[in-house]
Structure 1
Amino acid sequence: MYFPTSSVLIEFLILAIVDRDDSYGYEISQTVKFLASIKESTLYPILKKLQKAGYLETYSKEYQRRQRKYYTITEQGRQQLEFLKLAWQAYRMTVDNIIEGRLNDD
């Protein structure tokens, strides 16, 4: 994608992904890569930040005889996700209004 992706937008995407279903880091990174050119080395600090903020929790689950770390969203994370959804809608509407020439000249 041509447009740069901010860390807040990546946080928003991560919360939305994990809200649908618990997921592990590599799976999250592959989904986010559809929209943003990020490396896994960029993703993990953001996951840690979301966990430290209380938006995500982790648990381990065995997969092919190895432990895999899964992320799950917390209630506080769901509240943050709802806040970001509202902020995204307002941002998108403003951008659309500018692009479509629908700004009021007040």
Structure 2
Amino acid sequence: MELELRRGVIVLAVLSQLGDFRYGYELRQALAEQGMAIEEGTLYPLLRRLESQGALVSEWRTDGGSPRRYYTLSDDGRALRARLAGSWRELTATMEKLLEGAS
């Protein structure tokens, strides 16, 4: 059950960390440091899907080392992040009210 709860917020968690360009491993570390560990097998397909849907843009960089694909939000991605964040806040406020009455 906990896995299902987490699955519903992974997209918003990823979008929340892509205001600037980041590559996959760097993004995984940032999320894990804040308590949202995501497996590579979940993150990389999600990044590709979000890019194909227009929420992300990417570019390849070498920076003197191995090539890495860096991702950031597109304009549509910023709008999606704002919309999902609003929905998340409404949902958590509702759940707080519901849980207050549960004993």
TM-score norm. by structure 1 comes to 0.82
1:36 paired with 2:36, answer yes
TM-score norm. by structure 2 comes to 0.84
1:66 deviation in Å? 1.9
1:80 paired with 2:73, answer no
Distance in 2, Cα, partners of 1:41 & 1:78: 24
Query: What does the per-residue CA deviation read over 1:84-106, in whole Å, with 9 as the maximum and x for residues that have no partner?
Result: 0110011110111112229xxxx
Q: Secondary structure at the match of 2:68?
A: strand
1:54 paired with 2:54, answer yes
Counterpart in 1 of 2:90? 90
Kindly indicate whether the alpha-carbon contact (under 8 Å) linking 1:59 and 1:70 is maintained by their aligned counterparts in 2: yes
1:63 deviation in Å? 3.0
1:10 deviation in Å? 1.0
RMSD: 2.0
How much identity, in percent, do the aligned residues show? Answer: 29
Structure 1: tracts of 5 or more residues without a match: none
1:37 deviation in Å? 4.1
Structure 2: tracts of 5 or more residues without a match: none
Counterpart in 2 of 1:25? 24
Query: What does the per-residue CA deviation read over 1:61-99, in whole Å, with 9 as the maximum and x for residues that have no partner?
Result: 223422211001100001100110110011110111112
Q: Secondary structure at the match of 1:71?
A: strand
Pick the structure with greater CA Rg: 1
